[in-house]
């Protein structure tokens, strides 16, 4: 199955994993609407909604940059309407926008707590909710949320409870919508990386020292592509890990995704267990 002619509406996407997913879809000739705030480049965060849109067009797709805040109900509802009007419908929702703060409970401000939950959980819920009526009209509708598998092992709450709550909230959106929308043939799944991915967030929040211990965003883009080209009635309610998805698709050489190090050097992401040669002691936190 191809994404040619399919319409994706994505929160975020001006850089990093979101942009990589958008460009991969654009290579098939997909239409991509980006909902993002970044109109001017940041000193530490290269890329804007307009540079991402240009990259989508260059890859062979059609782009619709929509500047606004995913926390703004009116903006999101209008963005969905404008996307459907521009491209004749909506087939795929990608909940990519996410805020991160790894502070512990004593140190995090409630402003940051609210920001993470408003963007991560509420934003994902709002965008998916707003697109449901259009997704019902698609012959292969998907909601893909970039969030982790839910584990109640206390170790995942040791250092950053607030962030864990916000990311698990996104995963609960997947879990709930997968059942609620199953009868309409709308798939809802989550995708998460096994290892650190070289993005601005990793460099600026977690630490630049992880760059050589990371994979490139291409692994997430390729995994997302595999999910979004599956029949929606056959794959829903799953919490998928990038290298598992690609392994199931027949990929055996993951060295193409390395970012300067080796497989043994890769740092595990939050909320995932080691697989293969990954060192369980080398983790993002």
**Contact assessment for residue 197 and residue 219, using Cβ atoms and an 8 Å cutoff:** yes
What tokens does 186 get? 């709308």
Cβ atoms within 10 Å of 139's Cβ, excluding its own = 10
Give the confidence band of 61 by pLDDT, cuts at 50, 70, 90.
very high
Tens digits of per-residue pLDDT, 82-101? 999 999 999 999 999 999 99
Amino acid 199: pLDDT = 85
Instruction: Report the DSSP beta bridge partners of residue 9.
Output: 33, 93
Catalytic one of 50, 113, 163, 168: 163
Whole-angstrom distance, CA of residue 146 vs CA of residue 76: 18
**Contact assessment for residue 99 and residue 116, using Cβ atoms and an 8 Å cutoff:** yes
Annotated catalytic residue 225: no
Q: What is the mean pLDDT of residues 52-66?
A: 98
Whole-angstrom distance, CA of residue 236 vs CA of residue 189: 6
pLDDT at 281 over 60: no
| pTM for this prediction | 0.95
Write out the H or E segment, with its range, that includes residue 36.
strand 31-36
Tens digits of per-residue pLDDT, 192-245? 999 999 987 667 766 667 888 899 999 999 999 999 999 999 999 999 999 999
3-state DSSP assignment of residue 66: strand
Compute the CA torsion angle 223, 257, 254, 25 (nearest 10 deg).
Answer: 30
Tens digits of per-residue pLDDT, 101-143? 999 999 999 999 999 999 999 999 999 999 999 999 999 999 9
By residue count, the chain amounts to 285
Q: Determine the Cα angle at 246 with ends 243 and 249, to 5°.
A: 150
In 84-186, at which residue ranges do the beta strands (DSSP E only) sit? 92-95, 142-145
Q: Which of 92-101, 171-180, 271-280 has the lowest mean pLDDT?
A: 271-280
């Amino acid at each position: 199955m191809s994404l040619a002619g399919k319409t994706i509406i994505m929160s975020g996407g001006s850089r990093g994993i979101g942009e990589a997913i958008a460009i991969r879809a654009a290579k098939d000739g997909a239409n991509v609407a980006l909902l993002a705030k970044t109109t001017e480049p940041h000193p530490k965060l290269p890329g804007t909604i307009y540079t991402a849109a240009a990259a989508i067009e260059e890859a062979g797709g059609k782009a619709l940059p929509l500047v606004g805040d995913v926390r703004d109900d009116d903006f999101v509802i209008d963005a969905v309407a404008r996307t459907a009007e521009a491209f004749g419908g909506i087939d795929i929702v990608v909940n990519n926008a996410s805020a991160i703060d790894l502070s512990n409970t004593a140190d995090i401000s409630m402003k940051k707590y609210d920001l993470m939950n408003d963007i991560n959980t509420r934003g994902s819920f709002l965008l998916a909710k707003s697109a449901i009526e259009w997704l019902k009209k698609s012959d292969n509708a998907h909601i893909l949320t970039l969030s982790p598998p839910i584990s109640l092992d206390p170790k995942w709450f040791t250092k950053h409870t607030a962030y864990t709550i916000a990311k698990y909230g996104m995963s609960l959106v997947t879990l709930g919508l997968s059942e609620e929308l199953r009868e309409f043939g709308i798939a809802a799944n989550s995708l998460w990386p096994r290892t650190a991915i070289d993005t601005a967030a990793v460099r600026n929040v977690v630490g630049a020292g992880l760059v050589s211990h990371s994979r490139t965003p291409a692994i997430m883009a390729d995994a997302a592509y595999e999910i979004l080209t599956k029949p929606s009635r056959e794959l829903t309610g799953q919490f998928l890990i990038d290298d598992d998805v690609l392994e199931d698709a027949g990929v055996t050489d993951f060295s193409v995704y390395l970012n300067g190090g080796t497989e043994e050097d890769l740092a595990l992401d939050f909320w995932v267990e080691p697989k293969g040669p990954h060192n369980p002691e080398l983790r993002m936190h």
